[in-house]
Structure 1
C-alpha cells in the first residue's frame, strides 16, 4: 500500500482516537486498550514500510499519550507520588526527548560563547559578572581560597536561599516559554554565558581545578536541572507555535501540563543541589580530591540517568514497539 493511501485510510481513526484520548471519552479501560493495540499495529506497519515518514513520529507521540492514559486507568500499587516520578515523568520526558536535546545543545553552546568571549575580551567577564563580584573573587584567589564566597552565611540560610533562587530560575525558564520559546532561550543564554565566563575567569588565574572541585559539587545537579527546565519551556513554546492537529488552545493546555510535570520533577534536584551548596561545598578545600570527584560524578550520573536513560528504559519496557 502506498503511504498516501495508508494515511488516507487511517487518518480519521487516528484523529478520533487523538480527540478521545485528550477528552477521556472512553466507556472503560478495555475500550482504550483495544484501540491502543490497533494504533500500535499501524505504527509497526508504518515503521516497516515507510521508515522515513513523518507519520511515524506522529503515531509515536499518539501511542505514548495513549499508554500514559492506560496506566492512569489502572489501579496503581504504588502511591501517586512514586508513580509520578517512576512512570509519569519518564514517559513525558521520552515523548519530548528532542526538546531536551535542543536545550542542552543551546545551553552548552552559550557556555562556549561565554568562555571564548572572555578569552578574546579582557572586559567581558566584568561586563557579565559585575565588578563587585569579580573583585571579591580575585581577592579570594589571592587569599588562597577561590571558592570562599560559598562559605559566607550560615549553612541553613545558604541552603534555603540558594534553593529558592534556583527554583525561581527554573520557573522563569519554563514560564517564559509562552513567548514561543524565546524567553526560555534568553534564560539559557544568560546562564550559559555566565557559566562560560565564570569558569574562564578561574582558568586565567590558574585555579580552574580548585574552582571545579568545589563549585561543581553542587553545580553538576544545579546546572543540569536548569537545562531541564529550559526543555520544559521549549515544550510550552512548541505547544503554542506548533499545535498540529489540535486547536492552539488545546495544544497549549497539553504542553503546559506536560511541561509543568517536568518542571516539578526538578524541584527535588534543586533542593539536593541547595543542600550540597549550603552544607558540603563550603568544606571542599578540606576534602581529598577523590571525595570531591566522587560527589561530582555521582550527582551528575544520578540526574543524567533519570532524565537521559531511565525514560527510555521505562518506555521500552512498557511498550517494545515504541
Structure 2
C-alpha cells in the first residue's frame, strides 16, 4: 500500500518539476550565458542591453530558487540554481575591477589615508630613531669606545675612531671605480638586509610596541655613533650629504615599519571601546598599508644607495636628491587620497 501511494506522489513531483523548469529555463540559460561572458570579459564589456538585463534575470533566478526550495523539487535542479545564483551574485554585486584599478586605489587612497590616520604610531617610530641617534652621538663624545658597542665591524668597514681623516673622507667620495655589476649586487644585498630589518620591526610591534621601539632605537644608536665619528673628524657635513641621498628614504622606511608594528601594539595596549580583537582588525588594515609603504620605500632606497650614492660625488647634489625624494614621498602621502572612494562613501552612510 505504501509503495503504491508513493509512486503517484513521486510522479506528481516529477511532472511539477518539469513544468516549473520548462516555464523558466529560457531565462536561466540567458542568465548563465551573460554570467559566463561577464566572468570571461568583465561586466564593462557587456552590451548596454545585456547589462540592463543582468540584474533582472538575477532576481528572477533568485525567485525561482526560493520557489524550488519551497516545493522541494529535484536536487539536481536545486544545485544548478544555487550555483547559478551564486555566480550571478558575484557578477552583479562583487567589485568589478582589474588589478591595475586595485593597485591604483591602494596607492592613491588607502596608503596615504592610512599614513594620515597613524600619526601617533609614526611619532613612536620616528621618536625611537631620533632618540637613539641623539644617545649614540652623545655617548661617542663621552667615550669613543661606545662606537664599537653600537656599530658592527662589518658595517664599519674600517671607519673607526682610530681611522685617519683622509681615510674617512675616501669612504665618502669615490674616484669612479665601481662597476655596474658590483653596484647592482650591492643594491640587491641592501634591499634584502633592509627588508629583513623592516619586517622584524613590524612583526615585533604586536608585543605592545616595545621590542620594535627598541630595535628602531638601536638603529638610531648606530646612526648617531656613526655620525659622531665623522663629525669628530670635521666631516659631518659631508657625511650628512652621503647619508641623505638614500637615508631620507631608507631610515624613514624603517620608522614607517616601526609605526606599522606600533599600530598593532596600540590596538592591544589601548583598544578603546572595542575588544582587542576588533581593535586589531581595525588597526591591522592601516598597519598592512604602512608595511607595504615601507617595502616600497626600501626598494627605492636600495636603488638609490646601490646606484647613485657612490656615482654622485657632490655633497650638495646628494642633499638635493635625498631631500627632494623625501619631499616627493611627503607630498604624495599628505596630498593624495583626500576624497573618499565610492566604497568608503557607501560605508560611511
State TM-score, norm by structure 2: 0.62
Worse-matched range after superposition: 171-180 or 132-141: 132-141
Give the drift of 1:261: 1.6
Q: Which residue of 1 aligns with 2:299?
A: 271
Q: Which residue of 2 aligns with 1:256?
A: 284
Asked if the contact 1:90/1:314 (under 8 Å) is kept, the reply is no
Take 2:97 and 2:121, find their aligned partners in 1: how far apart are those partners? 29
Q: Pick from 212, 219, 236: which aligns with 1:184?
A: 212
Provide the residue aligned with 1:193 in structure 2.
221
The equivalent of 1:146 in structure 2 is 171
Give a deviation string over 1:7-37, Cα, whole Å, max 9, x none: xxxxxxxxxxxxxxxxxxxxxxxxxxxxxxx
Conserved? CA contact 2:108–2:336, under 8 Å = no
Matched, 1:293 2:319: yes
Change (3 A) 1:247 1:200: same
Matched, 1:234 2:262: yes
Shift of 1:133: 4.9
Partner in structure 2 of residue 225 of structure 1: 253
Deviation at 1:141, TM superposition (A): 4.6
Which one of 111, 128, 134 corresponds to residue 112 of structure 1?
A: 134
Query: Cα deviation per residue 1:112-170 (whole Å; 9 max; x = unaligned)?
Result: 11111112122111211145654611558533413379969811111111011111111
- 1:305 corresponding residue in structure 2: 331
> 1:123/1:290 Cα in 2 relative to 1: closer, same or farther (>3 Å)?
closer
Cα distance 1:161–1:87, how it changes in 2: closer, same or farther (>3 A)? same
Number of positions where the alignment pairs a residue of Structure 1 with one of Structure 2:
244
Query: Shift of the alpha carbon at 1:296?
Result: 1.6
Partners of 1:96 and 1:155 in 2: CA distance:
35
Separation (CA, whole Å) in 1 of partners of 2:124 and 2:232: 30
State the secondary structure of the residue aligned to 2:130: helix
Please provide the CA RMSD for this pair.
3.0
1:68-87 paired onto structure 2 within 5 Å:
79-87=101-109
How far, CA to CA, are the matches of 1:297 and 1:258 in structure 2?
26
CA distance in 1, matches of 2:155, 2:318: 25
Question: 1:76 Cα shift?
Answer: 6.6
Q: What's the counterpart of residue 30 of structure 2?
A: none
What is the DSSP-based 3-state SS (H/G/I as helix, E as strand, rest coil) of the residue aligned with 1:136?
coil
Aligned to 1:102: 124
Of 151-160 and 218-227, deviating more is 151-160
Aligned with residue 184 of structure 2, among 138, 144, 156: 156
> Using the alignment, how far apart are the partners of 2:282 and 2:153 within structure 1?
44
In structure 1, runs of 5+ residues without a counterpart are 1-72
CA contact (8 A) 2:244 2:323 kept: no
Q: Secondary structure at the match of 1:281?
A: coil
Deviations 1:72-102 (A, max 9, x none): x877796101110110112222222222123
In structure 1, what is the Cα distance between the partners aligned to 2:178 and 2:236? Answer: 18
Shift in CA distance, 311/183, structure 1 to aligned 2, threshold 3 Å: farther
Distance 1:229 1:131, change over 3 A: closer
Does 2:312 align with 1:284? yes
CA distance in 2, matches of 1:170, 1:132: 20
Q: Where does structure 2 lack aligned partners over 5 or more consecutive residues?
A: 1-93
- Kindly tell me: are residues 263 and 132 of structure 1, through their superposed partners in 2, closer, same or farther at Cα, counting changes over 3 Å? closer
Q: Tell me by how many angstroms 1:299 deviates.
A: 1.3
